[in-house]
Homo-oligomer: A and B are copies of this chain.
Amino acid sequence: MTKLDKIARLAEKADAKSAKRARKKDELADNAIAALKQLGYARTSLRDIAELSGVAVGTLHYYFEDKVDLITYCVRRYKTGFMADMQSILSGDVAPDQLAARLVKGLALSIRRDAETHRLWYDIRSQALFDAAFNDVVEEIEDGLVRLVSVFLSRTGHTDVEPGSAYLMLDAIFRFHLQKFLSGSTSAPAGFEQQASEILAIITSASKGSAPGRADV
């Protein structure tokens, strides 16, 4: 066995080790998310999370620096998952003129299914207004979301619409109907679909690019 082989073997072992650690970390994060999405950032204690994970509090500190580290990790994790979902909608081979409807439907479904998780995002984003420790995650995720909208706009041919503005519009409507949904309105997802489609039509038709709908035939 050459020296190089030895090194490779060791590196492999180290990788397997850190991979195992990463898996456990993610497992803990998933449990933490389950707790956080019910209680929110401020009301969820490390003990809540530990109990739900069937683990001692100390174990959490073994995997995460502190509470902020744990929570930012959780938010990052669930939100990238959400973005991947949306990305896959945008990547599917759908006719450009139906992409808006697909996206809006996907978001409406996400309100229905993951409402409690989404509110955690808005909670953290608000916390960032007070605690700079959350600024990085928020900025990072928000950049990703803008990029997502960007992809949507370029796929539908509206390359001159400001992605930042379009993101803000969608986000505002999403947040609002999420709020309604969480306070009992079962029609909120449908309401989102309607209002989002409307606004999307307005801002894309104001663009000097191709008209929305069945253009570029």
Contacts and interface: CB of A to CB of B under 8 A. Distances in A.
A116 to B, nearest CB: 9
Interface stretch (A50-58, A97-105, A166-174): A166-174
A172 B198 CA distance: 17
Interface stretch (A10-18, A62-70, A84-92, A200-208): A200-208
Contact of A169 (B122, B131, B169): B169
- Report how many copies the assembly holds: 2
B179 A172 contact: no
A159 interface: no
Interface in A102-140: 119, 122-123, 125-132, 135, 138
Interface of A is mostly: helix
Interface string A130-153: 111001001000000000000000
Interface of A: 39-43, 119, 122-123, 125-132, 135, 138, 162, 164-165, 168-169, 171-173, 176, 178-179, 182-183, 195, 198-199, 202-203, 205-206
11 contacts: A40-B127, A41-B42, A119-B126, A129-B178, A162-B195, A165-B195, A168-B169, A168-B173, A169-B169, A169-B172, A202-B203
Contacts of A182: 129
Contact of A168 (B41, B129, B164, B176): B176
Contacts of A43: 130-131
